Amino acid sequence: MPEFEAVVLRRIAAEPFPCEAGARNAFCERLVDDKLARYSARGFASYLVDGGARVLRANVVANSTPSQSLAVRAGRLRCQTKSDQMRLESALADAAVASASAAVYVRLSPTPDCANPLVLVAPVAAADLALVTLVDASARVREASRSLDMLSRAFGLTAREAEVGALISTGADIAAVAARLGVAIGTARNYLKTAMQKLEVHSQVELAAIVGELSNLAAA
């Protein structure tokens, strides 16, 4: 399998951590440290937090490049707006549930330093903790012909489907995409629907994560 396909299939979402119930043992800590390091290598700020948003650990990017979208104040993660904070805290509460396994995406309000911020909340299984990772979708998505070609080859998208998928991933709405491509809104919507079916995603946030991964590989 080509490298870019393997990366895309893994996607940005973290798998749950197989820690013993209620334990924060050395094995669990090594897995967390590995995730923090890998996200740092990809340029993502990532934090290990408890259900109350208290920061227990942060990676190099989080410590060296603070963001207005997601910052540490008084030892806790804080968003720019109250509504963003409520969504983050709700996602953390869900992650703290013992049965939680799937990562959750939270879209935050744009800030001057992060045009299209997305937060990935990945539960640390049975440890009542979560990894919170900040991604700027706009910075990750480039419309270079190479990344669009990779998207087409990886998932069998047509050129139009790839274009619509890339534009939607930047945060553009379907009307803006249709206007840019010179097609009807209904046509653009059909392209998007087909693209998401081929990528086997159910939200535009998941779509942005995949396109962002391909953009990283195209720029490498």
**Average pLDDT estimate for 3-18:** 37
**Average pLDDT estimate for 164-189:** 86
Residues 6+ positions from 134 with CB-CB distance below 8 Å:
44, 45, 46, 62, 67, 69, 70, 114, 117, 118, 119
The pLDDT value recorded for residue 6 is 33
Cβ contact 219:142 at 8 Å = yes
Cβ contact 80:111 at 8 Å = yes
**Average pLDDT estimate for 31-52:** 86
The pLDDT value recorded for residue 42 is 75
**Average pLDDT estimate for 169-183:** 83
The average confidence (pLDDT) of the chain is: 77
Residues 6+ positions from 120 with CB-CB distance below 8 Å:
12, 13, 14, 103, 104, 105, 131, 132, 133, 135, 209
Structurally, what CATH architecture does the domain formed by 3-136 represent?
A: 2-Layer Sandwich (3.30)
**Average pLDDT estimate for 104-109:** 83
CATH of domain 141-219: 1.10.10.10
**Average pLDDT estimate for 16-44:** 68
Residues of the chain with CATH 1.10.10.10: 141-219
Written as one string, the DSSP assignment of 100-116 is --S-EEEE---BTTBSS
Task: Identify the weakest region by mean pLDDT among 36-40, 95-99, 117-121, 134-138.
Answer: 95-99
The pLDDT value recorded for residue 145 is 53
Residue 24 in this model has a pLDDT that exceeds 60: no
The pLDDT value recorded for residue 139 is 60
Tell me which of 112 and 19 has the higher pLDDT: 112
Residue listed under structure tokens 């590989």: 217
What length does the chain have?
220
For residues 151 and 210, what is the distance between their CA atoms, to the nearest angstrom? 9
Tell me which of 24 and 93 has the higher pLDDT: 93
Which residue type, as a one-letter code, is found at position 38? R
Residue 46 in this model has a pLDDT that exceeds 60: yes
Q: What is the DSSP letter of 24?
A: -
Residue 219 in this model has a pLDDT that exceeds 60: no
Residues of the chain with CATH 3.30.450: 3-136
The pLDDT value recorded for residue 190 is 95
Q: How confident is the model at residue 15 (pLDDT cuts 50, 70, 90)?
A: very low
Residues 6+ positions from 67 with CB-CB distance below 8 Å:
45, 111, 113, 114, 117, 134
Nearest 5°: CA angle at 206, between 50 and 144? Answer: 125
Six-digit token pair at 146?
């190479």
